[in-house]
Structure 1
Amino acid sequence: MKTAIITILLLVVSNVFMTFAWYGHLKLSVSGISKNWPLFAVILFSWGIALLEYSFMIPANKMGFKDNGGPFTLFQLKIIQEVITLTVFTVIAMLCFQGQKFQWNHAASYLCLVAAVVFAFLPNK
């Protein structure tokens, strides 16, 4: 159980960095900080943040993978990661991008992801 919790916490931290690597430059541009940056500078900036993402994602997957003694199958790890990604993204988008609205169809799609998690963890017979 401890390995599962550590794996999930590492995935959460990883996804915070991932969200800022993928979307942080948009916020910087809107606020005028990186508005005139060339594309290669934006890419390098994002890669720098993504390095931090990988510093948490790789250990999480290594530790959490069943074949390495962890509690999760490869598919379960991926489903968990996707749900964490959307959860972290939603929180950051709502806090940092004030104009974005969470709508009913977003909630419906998230419920489908929760169903995906349930199906991923059903025992195989």
Structure 2
Amino acid sequence: MFQPLYSLLVNACPERRKAPVAWMEELPSDLVGLVVPPVSFSIQRDGEIVADRSLGLDANGQACFCVFRHVQTALRSDDDETFYVAPVHVETVTAWRLPDHRWLTSHQVIGDVEYAAPVPRLSLCTGMPR
């Protein structure tokens, strides 16, 4: 069965407790203390397609977290009479800034949404993903 693109659970920012973004959800638990925590967020959603971008800012107003999500959909039918929109491809890029200004990046692609489980690919980058 297909898994949701992301859950609605919210991880609160340490300072503000009103985080609208689950910024720690994909972060491996042993790395939680190693990233710069965001204190505020900027969220942008696309009205035409299923996509969003969230940017987390630290106490100095610099980016320390970002996530980009995109879902491609297609029309499906079980009986060739009733059609519905179903996700067919999901891509998520999530990144956290480390204190040394490198970025820990998780990239997940689900090409077969009904049967495949997401497998994150972690990497270190010198800059924030765009």
TM bucket normalised to smaller? under 0.3
TM normalised by structure 1 equals 0.24
Structure (1/2) with the larger helix percentage: 1
